[in-house]
Amino acid sequence: MQYRPLGRTGIMVSPYALGTLMYATRMGNEPEESARIIHKALDAGINFLDTSDAYGDSEDVVGKALKGRREDVVLATKFGLPMGEDPNRRGTSRRWIMKAVENSLRRLQTDYIDVYQIHRLDPATDIEETLSALTDLIRSGKVRAVGSSTTPASDIVEAQWAAERRGLERLRTEQPPYSLLNRGIEREVLPVAQRYGMGVMVWGPLAQGMLTGRVRKNQENSLSRASFFKHLTDEHRIDAVEQLLPLAQKAGMPLTHLAMAFTIAHPGVTSALAGARTMAHLDDLIAGFDVRLDDDLLDRIDEIIPPGTDIGTLDQDYQPPALLDPALRRRPAADRAAA
């Protein structure tokens, strides 16, 4: 395994990391089976695990699985998504961060978190408030580095400037979506992350199942989640997959190996998060560890999906408040009438 530096943190991580959303028991796995998958991944050389307090009981499952092996793992988790109906059990306020980190430490059965990430930015909280709290966590030894997830480039820059202006710890990592079908972060997010020396762990490298080859044009959808996610039935995305499949076949590899190798070929990407829910999924990931894409193959991919282009939009992608709240993009009715 050829380990890579996680930005400028000095931490070395594997180019493929294990995303643990699927290890929550509500996703169908027994904790014992999830532990076996995690152990096999560690034995194969993967040393980077990512979870979140919002992933059901995933943190509990991961914490139990890592007993006796915690020191071998770079452990990342996230906070900020709602953890119940209480409006204060969410977001990025100091009040919630200090509670959320203690909850995660308890569930993970560890004294420290290697990378503590803002799951989604909270527009109601000043970024300096958030960075100040995260700085205190680093100084207390409970957290080693801090980062963000699915963050627009402009907000990354603002956070970096705020940290420098106030002498606070800065965001060291970013976790954006990235795949053959979603290359939008190549325009600004990856260049900005490179400029600030941030480590980047990308999620969704298989486009939530579309790049497994199980979603085909004019065929009954074999992916059970397709009825729940619009992007799995997007004809433009399916058309792109139909062009990528013969490309992978000609290169002598499964589409999954092409998709995973593509994400870690970008110099701005540190690791790609793979959600290996079953042992078979993990075996396929391990089989593709040594796959490298040559320039001719990357050029052909660029012809199918141009650099910086998203084919459709992920249902889980970040939507800024200005798009979600109509009141933020419409003048009051009285003002419109007066005009």
Residue 308: the pLDDT is 97
Cite the active site residues. 55
Indicate the residue type of 40. Answer: K
| Residuewise pLDDT in 10s, the chain (339 residues) | 899 999 999 999 999 999 999 999 999 899 999 999 999 999 999 999 999 999 999 999 999 999 999 999 999 999 999 999 999 999 999 999 999 999 999 999 999 999 999 999 999 999 999 999 999 999 999 999 999 999 999 999 999 999 999 999 999 999 999 999 999 999 999 999 999 999 999 999 999 889 998 877 776 655 555 455 666 677 889 999 999 999 999 999 999 999 999 999 999 999 999 999 999 999 999 999 999 999 999 999 999 999 999 997 776 777 777 788 888 888 887 675 666
Residue 326: the pLDDT is 87
Residue 312: the pLDDT is 79
Q: Structure tokens of 338?
A: 């007066």
Task: Give residues with Cβ within 8 angstroms of 2, minimum separation 6.
Answer: 15
- CA–CA distance, 188 with 186 (Å, rounded to integer): 6
- CA–CA distance, 74 with 140 (Å, rounded to integer): 18
Distance of CA 42 to the CA centre of its chain: 19
pTM greater than 0.85: yes
Residue 244: the pLDDT is 97
Q: Which domains does the chain have, with CATH numbers?
A: 4-338 (3.20.20.100)
3-state SS, residue 7? coil
Q: Does residue 169 contact residue 131 with C-beta atoms inside 8 Å?
A: yes
